[in-house]
Amino acid sequence: MPRVNISAFNENDKILTTLLVNQMNPGVTNNGAPYVSFVLQDKTGIIDAKLWDAKDELLEGIKVGSVIQVNGEVLRYKNNLQLRCYTVTLVDPAQTDPAEYVASTDLSEAFMRARLGEAVASITDPVIRQITDKVLMTYDDKIYTYPAAARNHHDFVGGLATHMISMIDLGNALCSLYPQLNRDLILSGILLHDLGKVIELSGPILTEYTLVGKLVGHISIMQSKVTEVANALGYGDTEQLTLIRHLILSHHGEYEFGSPVLPLIMEAEILNYIDNIDARMNMFSKAFASVEPGNFTQRLFALENRLFYKPKYNAK
């Protein structure tokens, strides 16, 4: 039987398909009956699921990262689709194609490489260009597969480079509108600000934080790497290096959001806004994907725990 993708689920559908276990949390009802709350995924999306009366024998061998066959029904709960699982069965990994279960960018690697290469080549200041290029080359094998985050935004294969490209377009537009901005610094900040994610995160599939990611974080990781590269190139005493480091250290915009320093140059302020705009637009896209016009999303923790309305007017 062919797989049914999550994107094709409709309320009241009876479903028999295979999905990847993203999260798995056991619980007990008020009556003492065991159940399991799942977050299941495939390449088209994620969905919450519940298995009631979840006896141990039904769950044998199933864990986070398993592919399971799900027999169930699609319900609507708080304006979002959810699966009620009647049975779940472990699937032999040898009979699965990982590409079916992991969301990925719509952009080709060749396109992403070309866009990032063009951005680097367009930096006119030789110090900024060489530092930026050398750091990017260090992580060339990971840039085009890693996500930009473990959760929330651009959390898919190729999400990091996709995020960079959208930010490049935003940065170029703002530099055209406001010529007082230093485009070289804007581009360098865009290309380097999140690059520490390739160390902070475990990889593109079932992404988690590494030990270094938890204890050091991508901001500190990358500002340290940039300093190391600049010193090796003989640019350790340049103002350009200090400015690039400041862009990285301040790009979250606020102390409470993890920035060790606040933005204190125009380009750092703008980098924070560009980053936030693109991240939030991606979160909106994900949240609205399973919401019918005329309804609200679930509360979005990363967007100040707000619910957002999807208008019926001119619905897309």
Compute the average pLDDT of residues 11-33. Answer: 92
pLDDT tens for 194-206 read 999 999 999 887 7
Instruction: List the chain domain ranges.
Output: 6-100, 109-285
pLDDT tens digits for 50-98?
999 888 888 888 998 899 999 999 998 877 889 999 999 999 888 888 7
Q: Where is pLDDT greater, at 157 or 230?
A: 230
pLDDT at 9 over 70: yes
- Binned at pLDDT 50, 70 and 90, residue 316 comes out as low
Q: pTM for this one?
A: 0.82
CA dihedral 245→139→155→192, nearest 10 degrees, is 20
Q: Which residues contact 121 (CB under 8 A, 6 or more apart)?
A: 129
Q: What crossing angle do the helices spanning 239-250 and 266-288 adopt, rounded to 10°?
A: 30
DSSP count for the chain of H helices, then E strands: 10, 7
pLDDT, one tens digit per residue, over 269-291 is 999 999 999 999 999 998 888 78
Residues sharing a CB contact under 8 Å with residue 229, sequence separation 6 or more, in sequence order: 131, 134, 135, 138
Q: Rounded to whole angstroms, how far apart are CA atoms 172 and 296?
A: 34
Instruction: Please tell me the predicted confidence (pLDDT) of residue 186.
Output: 98
Indicate the range of 210-214, 255-259, 300-304, 306-310 predicted with least confidence. Answer: 300-304
Judged against a pLDDT cut of 70, whether residue 1 lies above it is answered with no
**CATH number listed for the domain at residues 6-100:** 2.40.50.140
Give the pLDDT score at 159.
94
Percent of the chain with pLDDT over 90: 72
The answer to whether 173 touches 258, Cβ cutoff 8 Å, is: no
Indicate if the pLDDT at residue 315 is higher than 70.
no
Q: Does domain 109-285 have CATH number 1.10.3210?
A: yes
Nearest to 120, CA basis, from 184, 194, 196 = 184
Looking at every residue in the chain, the average pLDDT score rounds to: 93
Mean local confidence (pLDDT), 32-61: 90
